[in-house]
Structure 1
Amino acid sequence: MLELSDGARITAAIVLLTLVGIESGGFFLLRIHAGKVPATDFQKAFYRAGHAHAGVLVILGLLCTLLAEATGLRGFWHWLAATGVLIAAILLPGGFFLSAMGEGRTTPNGLKVLFPAGAAFLGAGVVTLAIGLLTS
């Protein structure tokens, strides 16, 4: 049986609860596609991308949280390996949703700055985890 630290166990439990939020995002998308919520084609595309990124990154983030427990990483490096993807799971979908908000929007607003920040955490998290797994 896999032994989880208290931090990993609590993080995993909290992340699992966020799936309810992702589920509500799916309901929001259904309302858009049913014509109950007005949205431009740009907004529809960004909302779909945000929803998809949230689901995939949360699952990958949970896996990274568990795999980080199998490394010899400590301190900051363990934190980055365990949570980098989960931070990206906030920033990247947030970038899609928040940069598309506003009536009639057809281009991203200034919150598109969340994309490079999310990409940086995603890359740093998976590379750190991979190095930790290879060297442990």
Structure 2
Amino acid sequence: MSPASLSTAGVLLITVPAVAFGGISLLSFLMRNVPGYLDNPVRRGLWRAGHAHAGVLVLFSLVAMLYIDQADLSETLKSLARTTIVAAPILMPLGFFLSVARPADTKPNRLIWLTFAGGVSLAVGTLTLGIGLV
């Protein structure tokens, strides 16, 4: 692996305990019946989605780092793929969490657009990588 992919993978691995902490937090909300979580289906659903997307996308990004250095792409495009693929597990969960940050929020605020930005970022990165591998 290139030094850039190795350091990116290192940063991604450091985020795994944060995702696990998020899961423990959600579990504690369930077990302690925290107001604003169980009684707010919109917030509960978006926070669960945020946690799930964070976990899956971090793992996906780690796997993608193995392929980026094998792709027939310029260093600029490899850097673009690396950056955009890693941006997705940051942007998407942030959008889910921050769009209903207050316990009384019953609909997502404008920060839900971060989820779309994460989706676009993921699409750009995976398409770039896929083209480079074909």
Q: TM range, normalised to the smaller chain?
A: over 0.9
Q: Mind listing any 5+ residue stretches in structure 1 that lack a counterpart?
A: none
Contact 1:65 1:83 in 2 (8 A): no
Which residue does the alignment assign to 1:53? 53
Amino acid of the structure 2 residue aligned with 1:116: F
Q: Mind listing any 5+ residue stretches in structure 2 that lack a counterpart?
A: none
Which residue does the alignment assign to 1:8? 5
How many residues in Structure 1 have an aligned counterpart in Structure 2? 131
Identity, % of aligned positions: 39
Q: TM-score, normalised by structure 2?
A: 0.92
Which residue does the alignment assign to 1:65? 65
Q: Deviations over 1:85-125 (max 9, x none)?
A: 21011000110011011121110011112022111101001
How far residue 82 of structure 1 moved from its aligned partner, in angstroms, is 2.2
Distance 1:62 1:83, change over 3 A: farther
Please give the root-mean-square deviation of Cα atoms over the aligned residues, in Å.
1.2
Amino acid of the structure 2 residue aligned with 1:34: M
Contact 1:66 1:82 in 2 (8 A): no
Contact 1:64 1:81 in 2 (8 A): no
Q: TM-score, normalised by structure 1?
A: 0.91
Amino acid of the structure 1 residue aligned with 2:22: G
Q: What pairs with 1:72-91 in structure 2 (closer than 5 Å)? A: 72-91=72-91
Contact 1:67 1:82 in 2 (8 A): no
